């Protein structure tokens, strides 16, 4: 009873009588509305909420009508999208094109275009050629033909614009065809003048970086591209460009190149011998490929020369510096200066990460302080092949390459030893007619291009 009296007292105190009358009236109206019957279709107010499903009718004529849009390329982006790609509308009989990005994997790519792991398994087990899918690299192109959701009819895998495979669905799995396209080759001729370095001058003329580096390798036996070049040196290069269906797709081979250093001109022309070996020779048939390259790096500066009486920068004592130090950014490729066999590719005290190559004729070269290796012990390497990358391991005070050259176990100055090395090989006399026949027209064309363009460049401007 005390509780009831407390409630009555609370209501009278906080809810005046006129408020209670108003609330009671509103409650009565609500109850009345709940018991009113619904009106017919012609009537007015609908008191209950109704959901109406509106079907989408697809007639036969509509299904056969082509859509009013086209999807030429369907590229799966590397970043996740707000909606899964499998839910995206793709018109029937359209290719979905996926360019492989860094970090992509095959299972995720199949999933993004609406295919299952079972579809992936069937393709991977269709043939030996399907193993290409286990070694995807950024830039590979995968084209999916999926006429019906979840059914892979065809798959094209392009390793390059010119090479790939076509997988076509069959009763037993997928049949495989090799795709080989032939590019149209066009020649490109460029000239440049040295102001700072060969690399900078080549970039200024829009010469592909790979060809600039190859030029340095071609002339690497006769020109030291750190000490020899001078401002005003001129160079030219004739190389191929590849086109497919009228579109540029990449560069081809260097056909001929020339470098004029301090008044001396060196010319190199491409030649393929009877065994299919490709090399560069001067017009007289002498190989540009010397026994050893003058430098193991393409981009560098010399921070310390060979010096038997050098004071050690850390120990502060007189200790012979038995090689040459090339300062270069970490990760700069280091190249073998000659053909040889890897006899060491591991850590070695103050040398840090060290690669040692043994060459024919009793020669040996060492490459120290590497950040990482590109070869293993026992590997055979060719001149110019990348064997490691510049680092600062071991006793290095900064990123650089320490390069040593030994003859019969005795250290030599890498900067001057080339004058005592074997001379370059020449075309055999019995093969000279073949050499001239293959290179004469190219050399004449190259000479004409040089004469006309250099004449224009060197012609004094009219005042």
Give the domain CATH number at 211.
Answer: 3.10.450.350
Query: 318 with 416, same domain?
Result: yes
| CATH at 366 | 2.70.70.10
Residues in the chain, pLDDT under 70:
1-93, 299-321, 423, 454-463
Query: 163 with 247, same domain?
Result: no
Query: 308 with 409, same domain?
Result: yes
Query: 78 with 90, same domain?
Result: yes
Query: 219 with 242, same domain?
Result: yes
- Domain boundary, last residue among 165, 180, 195: 180
Query: 171 with 193, same domain?
Result: no
> 65 in a domain, yes or no?
no
The owner of tokens 């299919």 is: 276
d(CA 278, CA 256): 13
| Pick from 296, 237, 229: nearest CA to 270 | 237
pLDDT of residue 226: 72
Q: In sequence order, which residues have a C-beta less than 8 Å from that of residue 303 and are 6 or more positions away?
A: 325, 326, 327, 400
Neighbours of 269 (CB within 10 A): 24
- Domain boundary, last residue among 253, 281, 309: 281
Exposure of 392 in the CB half-sphere (CA atoms within 13 A): 7
d(CA 126, CA 121): 9
Neighbours of 179 (CB within 10 A): 13
Query: 81 with 166, same domain?
Result: yes
Instruction: Please state the domain count of the chain.
Output: 3
> 202 in a domain, yes or no?
yes
Query: 409 with 315, same domain?
Result: yes
pLDDT of residue 78: 41
Query: 331 with 371, same domain?
Result: yes
Question: Which residues lie across from 400 on neighbouring strands?
Answer: 327, 391
Residue 309: what are its φ and ψ, rounded to 5°?
-120, 25
Please give the DSSP secondary-structure letter assigned to residue 133.
G
Query: 129 with 189, same domain?
Result: no
pLDDT of residue 29: 58
d(CA 410, CA 98): 57
Query: 333 with 413, same domain?
Result: yes
pLDDT of residue 313: 55
> 318 in a domain, yes or no?
yes
Query: Which range marks the domain in which residue 94 is found?
Result: 72-180
d(CA 48, CA 288): 93
pLDDT of residue 400: 92
> 392 in a domain, yes or no?
yes
> 130 in a domain, yes or no?
yes
> 23 in a domain, yes or no?
no
Structure token digits, residue 288: 């540009």
- Domain boundary, last residue among 180, 215, 241: 180
Residue 234: what are its φ and ψ, rounded to 5°?
-120, 150
What is the per-residue DSSP string for 365-385?
A: EEEEEEEEES--TT-EE-TT-
> 286 in a domain, yes or no?
no
Instruction: Using only the alpha carbons of the chain, give its radius of gyration.
Output: 38
pLDDT of residue 310: 55
The owner of tokens 């001058």 is: 201
The owner of tokens 């090395």 is: 421
pLDDT of residue 41: 43
> 76 in a domain, yes or no?
yes
Query: 166 with 263, same domain?
Result: no
């Amino acid at each position: 009873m005390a509780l009831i009296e407390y409630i009555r007292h609370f209501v009278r105190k906080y809810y005046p009588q006129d408020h209670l009358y108003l609330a009671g009236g509103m409650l009565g109206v609500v109850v009345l509305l709940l018991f009113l019957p619904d009106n017919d279709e012609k009537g007015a107010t609908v008191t209950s909420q109704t959901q109406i499903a509106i079907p989408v009718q697809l007639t036969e004529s509509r299904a056969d009508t082509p859509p009013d849009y086209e999807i030429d390329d369907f590229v799966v982006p590397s970043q996740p999208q707000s909606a899964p790609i499998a839910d995206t509308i793709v018109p029937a009989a359209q290719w979905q094109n996926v360019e492989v990005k860094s970090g992509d994997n095959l299972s995720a790519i199949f999933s993004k275009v609406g295919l299952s792991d079972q579809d992936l398994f069937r393709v991977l087990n269709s043939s030996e050629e399907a193993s290409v899918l286990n070694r995807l690299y950024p830039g590979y192109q995968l084209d999916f033909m999926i006429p019906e959701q979840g059914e892979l009819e065809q798959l094209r895998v392009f390793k390059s614009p010119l090479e790939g495979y076509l997988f076509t669905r069959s009763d037993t799995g997928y049949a495989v065809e090799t795709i080989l396209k032939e590019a149209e080759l066009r020649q490109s001729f460029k000239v440049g003048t040295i102001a700072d370095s060969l690399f900078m001058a080549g970039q200024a003329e829009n010469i592909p970086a790979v060809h600039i580096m190859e030029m340095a390798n071609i002339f690497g036996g006769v020109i030291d591209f750190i000490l020899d070049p001078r401002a005003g040196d001129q160079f030219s290069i004739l190389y191929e460009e590849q086109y497919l269906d009228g579109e540029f797709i990449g560069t081809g081979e260097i056909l001929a190149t020339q470098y004029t250093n301090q008044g001396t001109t060196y010319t190199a022309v491409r030649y393929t011998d009877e065994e299919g070996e490709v090399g560069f020779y001067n017009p007289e048939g002498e190989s540009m490929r010397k026994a050893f390259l003058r430098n193991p790096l393409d981009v560098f500066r010399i921070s310390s020369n060979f010096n038997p009486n050098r004071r050690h920068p850390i120990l502060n004592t007189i200790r012979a510096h038995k090689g040459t130090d090339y300062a270069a950014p970490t990760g700069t490729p280091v190249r073998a200066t000659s053909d040889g066999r890897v006899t060491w590719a591991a850590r070695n005290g103050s040398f840090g990460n060290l690669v040692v190559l043994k060459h024919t004729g009793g020669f040996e070269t060492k490459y120290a302080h590497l950040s990482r290796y590109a070869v293993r012990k026992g590997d055979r390497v060719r001149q110019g092949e990348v064997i490691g990358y510049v680092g600062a391991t071991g006793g290095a005070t900064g990123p650089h390459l320490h390069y040593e050259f030994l003859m019969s176990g005795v250290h030599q100055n890498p900067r001057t030893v080339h004058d005592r090395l074997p001379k370059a090989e020449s075309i055999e006399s019995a093969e000279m007619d073949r050499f001239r026949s293959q290179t004469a027209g190219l050399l004449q064309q190259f000479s004409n291009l040089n004469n006309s363009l250099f004449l224009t460049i060197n012609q004094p401007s009219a005042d």
